[in-house]
Amino acid sequence: MSFVEQFSDLNRDALSMQLYSTTAEQVEAALINPRGDLTSLLALLSPAAEPYLEQMAQASVALTRQRFGAALNMYIPLYLSNLCANECDYCGFSMSNKLKRKTLTDDEISAEVKAIKQLGYDSILLVSGEHETKVGVDYFVNALKIIKPHFNYLAMEVQPLATDEYRQLKQQGLDAVMLYQETYQPQTYAQHHTRGKKRDFANRLSAPERVAEAGVDKIGLGVLLGLDDWRLDALMMGHQLSYLEQKYWRSRYSISLPRLRPCTGGITPKTMLTDRGLLQMIFAFRLFNHELEISLSTRETPALRDKLFALGVTHLSAGSSTQPGGYANQQRQLDQFEISDDRSPSQIANVIRSLGLTPVWKDWQGQWSC
Ligand code: SF4
């Protein structure tokens, strides 16, 4: 059974009712042995778990240090193109937004690589809008040939591709694919994705399986927090994670928890996820999955990021530009979303060290995996 089939069997209304009727006794039961148990994940994401935040934090920190030691992995996004054939009303790259569109040439990619290497990075995330005719697999294969020799670990966050296309990219050194569902509520998804291939909810939902079938080392899931009820979206993501881990146990998994940020032509969030809510999500997922990598972007404020570094997060970006060509040429004009934390990578590394942790510029585990 595919996850799309399994997902269609899930009764989201019933799960939502359970989330909001969970009792303190159920949360306490979940805290005893939450690992891999979706019922416990539901309880830990529920409003009833809020008074247990301190207890969850202590367990989350201990588990994170046990599994990941003092390491915090640093990565940086490289935006290849802001061309996009989709309309997503929360994103500055939407096709109807009047922006100067830019797709990096070979020379511009090389200039970005040079600028990023000077910052010290060895782990990179390639990002593009979704425009498969102009920025499709042929473009990516060529880009990887230029970029991969300079980086130990290479991840991509682009449009969903076919299994054979992921295989082609794996041959060029692709290590990880980030594929965020944005929201697991089909009606809300349809409201926010109004033009282009991204309207196809099921195609996006099935894409992580294609990545796994192509044998890519790591798969990243995510929701855009604020589009719909974050508790239910997080729970649905837990269901997908659980499905993938059981079926594709050779892959590693990560999650990303971006909150909706202002952007050109964008919308205001339907639901606000507070800082405490974000902490609850991180702790709930750490207790649910001890090996899970949890990624933090520069969307969050410096004050909150500094707090989260020590509380269960394992991967973070710093010094990010969301403009194609933004590292070699630092004029700001084409942002996908606003960045809250614009401190330099070395400033962030100093904060990490001051917390007794170690900034790690390579994804060593990627080297060890086969
Ligand atoms: S979220 Fe992605 S697909 Fe949607 S408009 Fe932005 S870049 Fe395009």
- 237 in contact with ligand 1, CB cutoff 6 A: no
What average pLDDT does the segment 332-351 reach? 75
Residue in this structure with the two tokens 């797709």, named with its chain if needed: 103
- 94 in contact with ligand 1, CB cutoff 6 A: yes
Ligand 1 atom closest to Cα of 198? 3
Among left, alpha and beta (phi > 0; psi -120 to 50; other), residue 311 is alpha
CA-nearest residue, atom 5 of ligand 1: 94
pLDDT tier at 338, thresholds 50, 70, 90: low
Give residue 304 CA to ligand 1 midpoint distance, Å.
Answer: 26
- 86 in contact with ligand 1, CB cutoff 6 A: yes
CA distances for 321 relative to 124, 157, 236, 260, angstroms: 13, 15, 30, 17
C-alpha angle 359-280-156 in degrees, rounded to nearest 5: 50
80, 81, 87, 88, best to mutate for ligand 1 pocket (most atoms within 8 Å of CB):
88
Q: What is the 3-state secondary structure (H, E, C) of the chain?
A: CCHHHHHHHCCHHHHHHHHHHCCHHHHHHHHHCCCCCHHHHHHHHCHHHHHHHHHHHHHHHHHHHHHHCCEEEEEEEEEEECCCCCEECCCCCCCCCCCCCCECCHHHHHHHHHHHHHHCCCEEEEEECCCCCCCCHHHHHHHHHHHHHHCCEEEEECCCCCHHHHHHHHHCCCCEEECCCECCCHHHHHHHEEECHHHCHHHHHHHHHHHHHCCCCEEEEEECECCCCHHHHHHHHHHHHHHHHHHCCCCEEEEECCECCCCCCCCCCCCCCCHHHHHHHHHHHHHHCCCCEEEECCCCCHHHHHHHHCCCCCEEECCCCCCCCCCCCCCCCCCCCCCCCCCCHHHHHHHHHHCCCEEECCCHHHHHCC
Quick one: pLDDT at residue 366? Answer: 45
CATH classification at residue 230: 3.20.20.70
Ligand 1 atom closest to Cα of 159? 3
Q: What distance in Å separates the CA atoms of residue 191 and residue 186, rounded to the nearest whole number? A: 9
Quick one: pLDDT at residue 336? Answer: 55
Ligand 1 atom closest to Cα of 92? 6
- 91 in contact with ligand 1, CB cutoff 6 A: yes
Give residue 28 CA to ligand 1 midpoint distance, Å.
Answer: 40
Quick one: pLDDT at residue 22? Answer: 98
- 88 in contact with ligand 1, CB cutoff 6 A: yes
Q: Do 324 and 100 form a contact (C-beta atoms < 8 A)?
A: no
Largest CA distance in the chain: 60
Q: What distance in Å separates the CA atoms of residue 109 and residue 193, rounded to the nearest whole number? A: 29
What average pLDDT does the segment 253-279 reach? 81
What average pLDDT does the segment 264-269 reach? 64
Give residue 87 CA to ligand 1 midpoint distance, Å.
Answer: 7
Give pLDDT tens digits for 218-254.
999 999 998 999 999 999 999 999 999 999 999 999 9
What average pLDDT does the segment 3-23 reach? 97
Quick one: pLDDT at residue 367? Answer: 43
What average pLDDT does the segment 106-111 reach? 97
Give residue 2 CA to ligand 1 midpoint distance, Å.
Answer: 26
- 258 in contact with ligand 1, CB cutoff 6 A: no
Quick one: pLDDT at residue 206? Answer: 98
pLDDT tier at 25, thresholds 50, 70, 90: very high
Rg (CA), the chain: 19
Q: What distance in Å separates the CA atoms of residue 359 and residue 72, rounded to the nearest whole number? A: 5
Quick one: pLDDT at residue 266? Answer: 61
316, 317, 318, 324: CA torsion to nearest 10? 180
pLDDT tier at 370, thresholds 50, 70, 90: very low
Q: 302 is in which domain, residue-wise? A: 3-368
Q: Is the pLDDT of residue 150 over 60?
A: yes
Q: Do 72 and 359 form a contact (C-beta atoms < 8 A)?
A: yes
Residue 147 half-sphere exposure toward CB, CA atoms < 13 A? 35
Q: How many domains does the chain have?
A: 1
Q: What is the 3-state secondary structure (H, E, C) of 89-126?
A: CCCCCCCCCCCCCCECCHHHHHHHHHHHHHHCCCEEEE
- Work out the mean pLDDT of the chain and round it to a whole number: 92
What average pLDDT does the segment 74-102 reach? 93
Q: Is the pLDDT of residue 369 over 50?
A: no
Q: Is the pLDDT of residue 368 over 70?
A: no
pLDDT tier at 267, thresholds 50, 70, 90: confident
Quick one: pLDDT at residue 180? Answer: 97
92, 294, 44, 299: CA torsion to nearest 10? -30
Quick one: pLDDT at residue 185? Answer: 97
Tell me the percentage of the chain whose pLDDT exceeds 70: 94
- 128 in contact with ligand 1, CB cutoff 6 A: no
